[in-house]
């Protein structure tokens, strides 16, 4: 049958099982929006307040569901407003397809109104980018974009379509999507043999988990593996929920704001088994001193990550789920009861703590965990509140903690929360934000109201850029250059002005009633929680320091004394 390019876009989305898209219309993409109008009963379009919100929403949808997230934008500034969201998805390996429209082919390269070479702009921050100038190639390009986004290590793909292509007609034949199989052809039996040998010789093994375990759906295999190896388990920010946060083997996050137990335990280990993590600088600290007495076994789907940041002693390249299946089949039961007991004793000595007398970010997060029983999706923005959300909420399952780990994007969380709620409407969704981050994306509260998306925004409001201020306090002689936000903005009034419910919390005893009220509201809610401007995230590793040098306030006080 003959269809226009715009109709082909919609039919290809339906082919791929897309039921929700996020976007913002404009001149060059009008043909696609007109086609969407005719299929609004099949594909739900969520209109955001800003294109960046659309890209973050598509990202949150993808992380919460495991499906490909889709966002749409017009040419020029519409397309460039997606860039931060695309880069965020790229850094955290999120499958996303961004569809933009551009000026007609005969107007390309002429500085036409709202013309930008968006395919060129995003080339370094996507798995692939396309520009479609021929309507006969449109369907296959979109299909390829979805396949690339999902295959191997996932990531964002951009498809830019000229406006004349969206109007032109060509024959369209429906095609069943190509099945994406896990990457297993790179798994070598000799690498499995070497890994088994290293595990069986180890006396102090530690398992270190990243986001790759969640992406491959390998949580069950990881649990079996941890039991067989008889080892403690730590994670990265992106690995949260891949191994249950309530489990006795779990020791918490590793790195700059990781637990002392994870940091000291990994330093003391003789074998670090790293699965689906990329050894980011926030995890390793001083790379020369990271796990220096341990052999490193690295399992990752992306061969480019092997020996990129940390030199390994052995590696297995391939899908984490399949690799762990093969290891579990071959591995005999190990016994490291003395080592596990030593780590348990460390956990007793080095718990995460905060002042129980005051209204603090950790208290809010712990109360949220208690009230939701861990059965919620938590998204975050970036800063102190993000670290508290990672430390004090125990994530029981994968795809329940959604945050910008690699890029550290302020303004990410609210859009991501909307996307997550659209993807999993049966689960309560909370975004934990700081007041600095909320200023960057508060316009999306209006989107949540307009689209009837009942997300709950908890603003940990300390009237400063908290994490930057923490660094200024510790490393810059308390010179608070442009980090104080003591203005007259009233977040409760802002929420109400946008049609949401606003609740202010200034006392500890108000936290629980506020969260309960928000959960019962069935509409978008903003909870403005006022905390002290000098609350800090501990433990902390100083920049350039080794992870075993993690310190907290007690360590600082002792050093001063």
CA gap 275, 238 in Å, rounded: 12
Q: Shortest CA distance to 61 belongs to which of 11, 105, 97?
A: 97
DSSP 362-395: HHHHHHHHHHHTT-SEEEE-SSHHHHHHHHHS--
**CA dist., res. 331 & res. 226, Å (int):** 11
Stated length of the chain: 561
* CB-count burial class (<10 Å; 0-12, 13-18, 19+) for 465: buried
Catalytic option among 96, 387, 418, 467: 467
Active site residue 418: no
Q: Is the peptide bond before 192 cis (omega within 30 degrees of 0)?
A: no
Phi, psi for residue 254 in degrees, rounded to 5? -110, 145
467 as an active site residue: the answer is yes
Catalytic: 96?
Answer: no
Question: Residue 167 class from Cβ within 10 Å (0-12 exposed, 13-18 middle, 19+ buried)?
Answer: middle
User: Mapped to the 3 state alphabet, what secondary structure does 471-538 carry?
Assistant: HHHHHCCCCCCCCECCCCCCHHHHHHHCCCEEEEECCHHHHHHHHHHHHHHCCCEEEEEECCCCCCCC
- Compute, in degrees rounded to 10, the torsion defined by CA atoms 95, 427, 443, 42: 60
Q: Catalytic one among 7, 16, 22, 51?
A: 51
Question: From CA 351, how far away is CA 372, in angstroms rounded?
Answer: 22
Let me know if 120 is exposed, middle or buried by CB neighbors in 10 A (0-12, 13-18, 19+): exposed
Instruction: Please tell me the distance from the alpha carbon of residue 131 to that of residue 450, in angstroms, as a whole number.
Output: 32
Reply yes or no on whether 538 is catalytic: no
Catalytic residue, candidates 15, 114, 510, 523: 114
Structure token pair of residue 222:
């990881």
Query: Does the annotation count 114 as an active-site position?
Result: yes
> Catalytic: which of 113, 169, 203, 554?
113
Question: Tokens 């069986």 map to which residue?
Answer: 200
Catalytic residue among 150, 163, 260, 501: 163
Question: Would you please indicate which residues are annotated as catalytic (active-site) residues?
Answer: 51, 113-114, 163, 467
């Amino acid at each position: 049958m003959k269809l226009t390019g715009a109709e082909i876009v919609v039919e290809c989305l339906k082919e791929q099982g897309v039921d929700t898209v996020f976007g913002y219309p404009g001149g060059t993409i009008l043909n696609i929006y007109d086609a969407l109008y005719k299929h609004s009963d099949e594909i739900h379009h969520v209109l955001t307040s800003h294109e960046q919100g659309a890209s973050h929403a598509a990202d949150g949808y993808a992380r919460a569901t495991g499906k490909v997230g889709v966002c749409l934008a017009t040419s020029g500034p519409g397309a460039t407003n997606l860039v931060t969201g695309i880069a965020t998805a790229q850094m955290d390996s999120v499958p996303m397809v961004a569809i933009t429209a551009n000026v007609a082919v005969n107007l390309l390269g002429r500085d036409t109104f709202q013309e930008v070479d968006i395919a060129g702009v995003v080339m370094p921050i996507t798995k692939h980018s396309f520009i479609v100038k021929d309507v006969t190639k449109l369907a296959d390009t979109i299909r390829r974009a979805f396949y690339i986004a999902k295959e191997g290590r996932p990531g964002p793909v951009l498809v830019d379509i000229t406006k004349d292509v969206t109007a032109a007609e060509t024959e369209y034949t429906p095609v069943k999507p190509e099945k994406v199989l896990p990457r297993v052809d790179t798994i070598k039996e000799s690498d499995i043999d070497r890994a088994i040998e290293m595990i069986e010789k180890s006396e102090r093994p530690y398992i270190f988990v990243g986001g790759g375990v969640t992406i491959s759906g390998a949580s069950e295999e990881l649990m079996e593996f941890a039991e067989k190896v008889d080892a403690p388990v730590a994670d990265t920010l992106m690995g949260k929920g891949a191994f249950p946060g309530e489990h006795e083997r779990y020791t918490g996050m590793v790195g700059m704001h990781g637990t002392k137990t994870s940091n000291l335990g990994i330093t003391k280990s003789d074998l670090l088994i790293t699965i689906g993590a990329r050894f980011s600088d926030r995890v390793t600290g001083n790379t020369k001193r990271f796990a220096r007495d341990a052999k490193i076994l690295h399992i990752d789907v992306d061969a480019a990550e092997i020996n990129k940041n940390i030199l390994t002693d052995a590696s297995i390249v391939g899908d984490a789920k399949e690799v762990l299946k093969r290891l579990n089949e071959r591995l005999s039961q190990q016994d490291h009861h003395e080592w596990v007991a030593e780590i348990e004793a460390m956990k007793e000595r080095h718990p995460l703590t905060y002042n129980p007398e005051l209204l603090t970010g950790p208290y809010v997060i712990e109360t949220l965990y208690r009230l939701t029983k861990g059965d919620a999706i938590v998204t975050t923005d970036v800063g102190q509140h993000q670290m508290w959300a990672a430390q004090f909420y125990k994530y029981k399952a994968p795809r329940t903690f959604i945050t910008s780990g690699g890029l550290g994007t302020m303004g990410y969380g609210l859009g991501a929360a909307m996307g997550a709620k659209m993807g999993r409407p049966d689960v309560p969704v909370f975004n934990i934000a700081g007041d600095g981050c909320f200023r960057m994306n508060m316009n999306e509260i209006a989107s949540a109201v307009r689209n009837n998306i009942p997300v709950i925004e908890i603003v940990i409001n300390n009237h400063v850029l908290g994490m930057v201020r923490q660094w200024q306090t510790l490393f810059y002689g308390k010179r608070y250059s442009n980090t104080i936000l003591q203005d007259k903005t009233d977040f409760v009034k802002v929420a109400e002005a946008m049609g949401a419910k606003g609740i202010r919390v200034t006392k500890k005893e108000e936290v629980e009633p506020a969260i309960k009220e928000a959960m019962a509201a069935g509409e978008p809610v903003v909870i403005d929680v006022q905390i002290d401007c000098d609350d800090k995230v501990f433990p902390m590793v100083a920049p350039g320091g080794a992870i075993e040098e993690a310190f907290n306030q007690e360590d600082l006080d002792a050093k001063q004394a």
